[in-house]
Chain A
Amino acid sequence: MDDVLVTGLGALSPLGAGTDAFWRGMHKADTGPTRVPDPLAHMDRPLMYLVPEADVPDGPEEQDGLPLGRGSRFALAAAREAVADAGLAPSAGPGERPEAGPYATGGGLDPRRVAVALSTGMGDTDLHEGWWTGRAPASGRWAPAFPLASVVGGWFGAQGVNTCVSNACAASGYALSVGADLIRSGEADVVIAGGAEAYSRVALACFNRLGAIDPERCRPFAVERQGTVFGEGAAVLVLESASHARARGARTVYGRLAGAGWSCDAYHATAPEPSGEQIERAMREALREAGAEAGSGTGSESGSGSGSESGSGTEAGSGAGSGSGGLGFVIPHGTGTELNDVVESRLLDALTPRTPLYSVKALIGHTGGAAGAFAALAACLVLHHKTLPPNVPVGEQDPECAVPLPSGSAPMTGAYGLVNAYAFGGNNISLVFGEAAA
C-alpha cells in the first residue's frame, strides 16, 4: 500500500503566522491567554489564546459571493502556506494564468485528484454571531456555518473530494485520517488536510457554563488545573501518496501518516469513559497499523515523573525517544480537564511507559476542531527537526498524571510520534506519524 507522506505544512496560531513562527514558539515555550476583545462576551472567564491581531488575515471578506468568517480566513491562510511549502500551486481558473509554481506550470497535477479534508467545530459561527447582534448580512444567500473546506477547495481549484469533518475536538484527527484513506483507496493523490477554529462567543460561553475554563491558563496534567482554555488558529498539512511525491520530486517530506485508530466511548455526552477502554483501543490500533509497538524502543529516562515540579523536569539531552526505531514521543490530548488528563495519563503510563510527552495545548490552548491538526503539525516538526521542544511550565504535576513532561528540549531519535485527539460524544482518534525521507 502506498505510504501517505506529509509534504507541506502551514500554520496560523497564537504564536503568529507561519510554521516557522510555530516552531520558534515551541522552543520559546512562553505563552498565555488573553481576554477576548468582545464587549458582548458576558461570562466569568472570557479567556483564550488568540491569534495575534497583527497576524489575523485582513481578508478576504468573501469568496465567490460567500461571506467568510474568521475560521475560513484562518483555514485559507494556513492552506496557502502548506500548499506553497509543498511546492504546489493552485489550479488555473478559466481564463487565468497559472500561478508561479513549478508543478502547476509544469503540468501533471490533476485537480480531480486533489482533495480537501478540513475540520472545524464552530466554523464561521462568528460571522453569524455578528449578524445576531446587529451587523446586517450582505445578502440573503444562505451562508452555511461550515464552509471551510469549500473555501479552500475553491481557492485552490481542487476538484476531488471536499469534506468538512466536525467531530468536535477530535475532528482534525479524523480529517487527517479520512484524507489518508482517500489516498490509500486511490481516490486522491494529494489531500489538503487539517483544521481551523476561531473565537466563537457561543462556544466560549457554553464552556464557561459547564465550568470547564481554567482561570489562569491551559495546564494539562497539573495538580492545580481547573479546566481548559480555548485557543484559535489553523493547521494544514499536505498529504500526498508516496508515489505521487516521488514522481514530482517533492522537495521536503516531513513524515508519514503511518497509522490511525478510531473509537467511540458510547458512554456520555461530555465525560470520558473512566476505564479508557476505547481510547486504549484507538491507540493500540494506530500503533499496530504503523508497526510502532507500544512501549518499545523508547528507553527514555526523560520523565519528570509523578509529582515533580515541571520546572525541574528533564533537561536537554536526556535522550527522549532514545530507542531508535520505536515510539519517540506522544502529543497527548491532555486538555487540562480533571478526568480526561487522569484517564489518558494512566493509559499512556501503561501503554507507552517512559515515552516523553509534548503538550501543544499548554502552548496554544485547546484549539478544538483544529487541535488534532496542530498536534499532527507539531509531530511532523519534531520528526523533521529530530528535536523535542521543552514543555511549557504548568506548575506542579498531578501525581495522578504520572507522565513524562520534559522541561528541556531533547534530541529525538525515535522513529515515531503518537498523536491523540478526543472529543465530546466520546469520539477518539489516535494517529501515528513516522519518519520519512524525500
Chain B
Amino acid sequence: MSSDPAVGLVVTGIGTVGADGFDFRTALGRHGYKYLPAASQYFLAAAKRALAQAGPDALEAVGPEQRGAAVGTNSAAVALHHAMDRTVTATGAADLSPVTAPYFSINLFGSRLATEHDLKGFNLTFTSPRVAGLEALQNGQRALATGRARRLLAGATEEALPEGEPGAGTSEAGAVALVLEPEPAARSRGVAALGRVGVRSFFLPPKAAASAEGAERAAALLRDALDALGHRPDRPLAVTAVLDGSPVGEAMAAALDEKALGGRALAGEPERVPAGAGALEPVARVAAALGAPAGHAHAVVTAAAEGNAAVCLVTPGGADAVPGGPEAASSEPAGTKRAPESAGSEQPMSGRRRASDR
C-alpha cells in the first residue's frame, strides 16, 4: 500500500462501446479475442478507448502494483449461463467449451483487463442491482484514497439477457470505462482533466419506499449523499435520474425537486431516463455529463427496485472548474493533449441493443 494515497482524482479518459455494430476484430484486434464472451470484449474495447484518450502513459507512469481496476455488472453472464445450462441439461458438462467454462465466474468478465494492462493493485467486480457500475467508481476511488493503488480503470459492462428471461425487454449491452488519476499527475503529463466524479451509494428499503413517507425518506438520503459529496446547495445542479417504475424508483423521482432537496437549486427539470436491466446506463450518463461545459455540476441518480441507490456528482473540467476544489492549476496547461472526439463518443447508450431486437 502506498504511503502517499492518491487524492483529488480526475477523469482523463472515457471509452464507451455499444453492442450495435460492435466487431471485436476492429475494436480489439483479430487475434486473441474471438472466444471471449461479448461483455468481456465490450469492456476491453471501452478501456482501450478510454486509455487512448488518456494517453499512452496514463497507466505506465506508475508500476503495475499501483494500478487498479473495478467493474460493475449485473447481467454480463446470464446469457452465457443460460447457454451453458442448456448444454449441461441436454448432453452434459463434457460438451461445454473449455475456453468459456471459466466464465461461469462473473469476475472473469473484467479480469482480462488486468492481464492486458498489468493491473496488479486490485481488480474488483461489483454486482449490486443497477448501481454496480457506480459502485465500481465509488469503491475504486476509495481504494485509491486508502493507498491501494494510484491509477484506476473503472466502469460497467453488460450483455443482453436471453429471450424469455424476466427483464429481457429492457436489456442493456455495451460497456463504459473511465480512467482516473490524481489531478497533479494528469497536469504533469500535459493531459486535460475531463472532470471529477464522486459517488455515494445508499439503500432505500423497498418497504420504506412504498410507504407514505417514501419520497421524504428518499429525499433525506439524497440530501445526505449530496452533502457528503461536497455539493453546495446554492450551486445549480442538473439532474439525470435513471429510474424504474418500482416504489423505490418512484420515491426517488418524487424526491428530485428543489423543496424536497432542502432548497438546492436545480438547473432545470430533472431528466428521467428509463432504467434497463443492468448497471450500464447510469455510468453511460456519467460519461455523457463529463462532456458538459466546465464547472456545470450534474448529478446522475439511480436506484433499483431492490433498494440499492446511488448518486454520482459529476463536475466537468479541471480543478479550476471545481469551486472549493484543490488549488491546483488555474488554467489548462500548455501542450494539453486532447484525444479525438471519436475516442470517447457514443454516450449515453442510446444505441443499446435490446434482447427483443435480436
Contact = CB atoms under 8 A, between A and B. Distances in A.
Interface of A: 40-44, 64-66, 91, 93-95, 112, 116, 120-123, 125, 128-129, 131-133, 137, 139-147, 149-151, 153-154, 157-168, 171, 174, 178, 181, 184-185, 200-203, 205-210, 261-270, 278, 281, 285, 289, 423-427
B80 to A, nearest CB: 9
Interface in B35-89: 64-65, 74-75, 77-78, 81-82, 84-86, 88-89
12 contacts: A41-B88, A129-B81, A141-B166, A147-B129, A162-B203, A171-B107, A178-B142, A184-B146, A202-B88, A206-B84, A267-B115, A425-B123
A209 B207 contact: no
B121 A144 contact: no
Nearest to B275: A142
Contacts of B82: 128, 132
Interface stretch (B173-181, B232-240, B303-311): B303-311
B102 interface: yes
Given A94-B208, A147-B129, A202-B81, A159 B202 contact: yes
A142 B148 CA distance: 35
Interface of B: 1, 64-65, 74-75, 77-78, 81-82, 84-86, 88-89, 91-94, 96, 98, 101-102, 104-108, 110-112, 114-115, 117-130, 132, 135, 139, 142-143, 145-146, 148, 165-167, 170, 201-208, 210-213, 221, 224, 277, 304-308
Contact of B114 (A262, A266, A285): A266
A424 B105 contact: yes
A146 B81 contact: no
A153 B307 contact: yes
Given A206-B102, A210-B101, A270-B102, A163 B126 contact: yes
A414 B184 CA distance: 44
A339 B319 CA distance: 48
B111 A162 contact: no
A131 B165 contact: yes
Is the contact region of chain B dominated by helix, strand, or loop, or is it mixed?
mixed
B341 to A, nearest CB: 31
Given A94-B207, A144-B74, A205 B108 contact: no
A245 to B, nearest CB: 22
Given A93-B207, A262-B122, 14 more contacts: A41-B88, A44-B94, A64-B305, A129-B85, A144-B306, A145-B75, A168-B108, A174-B124, A178-B139, A184-B146, A202-B104, A265-B114, A424-B108, A425-B111
Contacts, number: 268
Contacts of B94: 43-44, 208-209
B93 A95 contact: no
Nearest to A211: B98
A42 B128 contact: no
A103 B92 CA distance: 52
B306 A202 contact: no
A42 B114 contact: no
A424 B207 CA distance: 37
A215 B74 CA distance: 33
Given A94-B211, A165-B124, A206 B96 contact: yes
Contacts of B170: 142
A366 to B, nearest CB: 12
B101 to A, nearest CB: 4
B89 A146 contact: no
Nearest to A42: B92
Contact of B128 (A150, A167, A174, A200): A150
B124 A125 contact: no
B126 A40 contact: no
Contacts of B128: 146, 149-150, 162-164
A205 B84 contact: yes
A58 to B, nearest CB: 22
A202 B86 CA distance: 9
Nearest to A121: B105
A103 to B, nearest CB: 18
Contacts of A265: 114, 120
A141 B307 CA distance: 14
Given A163-B126, A164-B128, A164-B132, A153 B88 contact: no
B330 to A, nearest CB: 30
